[in-house]
Amino acid sequence: MKGGTPQDKDIDMKELGRQLGCPSGENGISVAKMMNESNAAMTLNTIAFLGLGDGHTVLELGPANGAHLADVMAKANDLRYYGLDISETMVQEARKINAALMSRYAVSFEHYDGQHIPYDDHTFDRIMTVNTIYFWSDPRALISGLERTLKPGGSCVISFVQKEFMKNLPFVGENFQLYDDNDMRELVRHSAMELVDLASRTEEVRTKSGERVQRTYSMAKLKKPDAN
């Protein structure tokens, strides 16, 4: 699931932080709806940055309720999309919300443990994830899993809000691992992939109290080396 800047006044900060890590029950469903709005531009920019092409097979980690699936599928022809989420609640919501798209396209939403990507080597042309990296229990291992399941020459985009912004949010607790660009470079340095682009964007978002603030996020594009 995804972190970000929520607006709901009916959920306390501690509960909100927990729900952002793994949404469950009615509160989780409500939080996911809030995050669709506050992360909309970030998600759309990530999809565009991914560089989807006709016939690509795409994996998304943490799609939550998958309300943006139509935007993914509109980017190219004959896409095959796989969504993995640690929340069973979100998997069920994504299947429900996207039932019509699932009947027309090659789309699946599945539950996973947040650590092991349950697909064969060299499966995906593209992988994306937005606002999930804060909750990875073993980031180096998960990066290795992304590299393993990418096809040679494939790429992955990891989007995250900058540490300087996130650290001041009242719902950010011990279950969050925050990142800035240097942290991302260090993480990728320990992997077999290359950081080929690191693009930053700043947008205006509304805080829980209704205040409008400037939020900076980055989109890190990692590439798996081509086969020799």
Structure-block tokens of residue 127: 């992988």
Q: What is the DSSP letter of 170?
A: T
Strands 124-130 and 150-161: parallel
- The CA-atom distances, in angstroms, between 112 and each of 7, 8, 85, 91 are 28, 28, 6, 10
What per-residue confidence (pLDDT) applies to 93? 94
CB 115 within 8 A of CB 141: yes
Per-residue pLDDT at 26? 80
| pLDDT tens for each residue of 81-133 | 999 999 999 999 999 999 999 999 999 999 999 999 999 999 999 999 999 99
- 209, pLDDT greater than 60: no
Torsion of CA 130, 32, 89, 170, to 10 degrees: 80
- What tokens appear for 120 in the block? 């064969």
| Residue 8 reports pLDDT greater than 50 | no
Greater confidence (62 vs 29) lies with 62
At position 1, the amino acid (one-letter code) is M
Mean pLDDT check: name the lowest of 34-43, 60-69, 149-158.
Answer: 34-43
Lowest mean pLDDT among 29-33, 59-63, 202-206: 29-33
To the nearest whole number, what is the mean pLDDT of the chain? 89
Contact predicate 193/222, CB 8 Å: yes
pLDDT at 25 over 80: no
Most confident listed range (52-56, 113-117, 188-192): 52-56
Identify the structural domains of the chain with CATH numbers, from first to last: 13-223 (3.40.50.150)
**17 has pLDDT over 70:** no
Residue-level pLDDT at 175 = 82
pLDDT at 10: 45
